[in-house]
Amino acid sequence: MLNAVFLDAATFGDDADFSALTNLPLSWQFHAVTSPAEVVERCQDCEVVISNKVVLNADTLAQLPKLKFIGVAATGMNNIDLAAAEKHGIKVQNVSGYAGTSLAQHVFALLTLVTNQLHKYAEDNRSQGDKNWSQSPHFCRLDYPIRELGSLTLGIVGGGVLGSTVAKVADALGMTVIYAGRKGERQVADNRVPWDDFLAKADVISLHCPLTADNAKLFSTAEFAAMKNDAIFINTARGGLVDEAALLEALDKGDIAAACLDVLSVEPPPKDHILLANPRPNLYISPHNAWASRAARQRLLGILAGHIKAFLN
């Protein structure tokens, strides 16, 4: 029987059911977390390795002669040296299409947090101050402006399953949806908008593309300056797509109205991370859990098990 190891099973939480994996004809080891120093030892005798975010670089892969299959328990594969894996004849397979519903729900939770300002109204009602509902001279309170989504244009960067699922929700809410063309290219496909026009037209921009060497810090000073000053910026993709210092500056200068992030450049972030150490009232950060409804996590494990089964066959 082949040996298999899941290096960071704790990323799936305490309520995940791993039976889709354990029912496979493999001898399993599950580790909650794995430090860089532990990777080689834990993978040494394994033909199958599962990693969500544990890095498997060229040096590590060169020390694992038995390894034949890496299952990435996520969509992004930037933690795997794909060229080194190919060199050693190791198949690498990620999981896509599992989190569309969960992520789209999170995107609109972040968006409506800004447009409806429910957190501010709820906080006022927890307090005993002048803006408590009981202090209103009439039946409601209108202290914070509410923006109606149906009047807004949603700009999507990336056109895969996640972006198109978000687009479907936006369409149901009456939003106009546009897709970004590649940065620097004026000639774009019929369903795309040239990059500069895209930045100028979108009231909301939501990122749904992988992080590559070519698009690191895709959004920096020039991009934020080109956006509408009442625009809302949402990133549930990868933190490295954003120049975080430039984002903070754009919020301070009023180049954009708000930013909603589910990802940062380093995860978990250090306490002195620029965006955590410099909180702003128009900056909203969730801890990379847009993907993580229990239903989505179980779908991911089911798809992952299917990939391993196909490999074994």
Q: What is the mean pLDDT of residues 265-269?
A: 95
Chain segment 203-225, per-residue pLDDT in tens: 999 999 989 889 999 999 999 99
Taking the C-alpha atoms of 32, 35, 40 and 43 in order, what is their torsion angle to the nearest 10 degrees? 10
Active site residues: 238, 267, 288
Overall number of domains in the chain:
2
Position 187 confidence tier, pLDDT thresholds 50, 70, 90 = confident
Cα separation, 24 vs 8, whole angstroms: 19
Residue 217's region, left for phi above 0, alpha for psi from -120 to 50, else beta, is left
Tell me the three state secondary structure of residue 219.
Answer: strand
Kind of pairing, strands 258-261 and 204-207? unpaired
Q: Are residues 6 and 106 in the same domain?
A: no
What lies within 8 Å, CB to CB, of 305 at 6+ separation is: 20, 21, 23, 24
Q: Which domain holds residue 88?
A: 2-98+294-312
Q: Are residues 16 and 127 in the same domain?
A: no
pLDDT at 191 over 90: no
If one compares 234 and 96, the residue with the highest pLDDT of the two is 234
Q: What is the DSSP string of 159-190?
A: -SHHHHHHHHHHHHTT-EEEEBPPTT-S---T
**What pLDDT sits at residue 22?**
97
**What pLDDT sits at residue 43?**
98
What is the residue type of 284? Y
Chain segment 75-129, per-residue pLDDT in tens: 889 899 999 999 999 999 999 889 899 999 999 999 999 999 999 999 999 998 8
Residue 86's region, left for phi above 0, alpha for psi from -120 to 50, else beta, is alpha
Which of 110, 219, 225 shows the shortest CA–CA distance to 158?
A: 219
What does the mean pLDDT of the chain come to?
A: 96
Cα separation, 65 vs 76, whole angstroms: 24
Q: Are residues 70 and 113 in the same domain?
A: no
**Taking a C-beta distance cutoff of 8 angstroms, is the pair 305, 20 a contact?**
yes
The pTM for the full model equals: 0.89
**What pLDDT sits at residue 189?**
82
Tally Cβ neighbours within 10 Å of residue 158.
19
Q: Are residues 124 and 55 in the same domain?
A: no
**Taking a C-beta distance cutoff of 8 angstroms, is the pair 1, 25 a contact?**
yes
Position 226 confidence tier, pLDDT thresholds 50, 70, 90 = very high
pLDDT at 159 over 90: no
Q: Are residues 115 and 133 in the same domain?
A: yes
Q: Are residues 115 and 254 in the same domain?
A: yes
pLDDT at 155 over 90: yes
Chain segment 42-68, per-residue pLDDT in tens: 999 999 999 999 999 999 999 999 999
**Taking a C-beta distance cutoff of 8 angstroms, is the pair 277, 269 a contact?**
no
Q: Which residue's entry shows tokens 């109204």?
A: 121
Q: Are residues 127 and 248 in the same domain?
A: yes
Cα separation, 176 vs 202, whole angstroms: 9
Q: Which CATH number goes with the domain that contains 303?
A: 3.40.50.720
57-61, 136-140, 260-264: least confidently modelled range: 136-140
Q: Are residues 89 and 229 in the same domain?
A: no
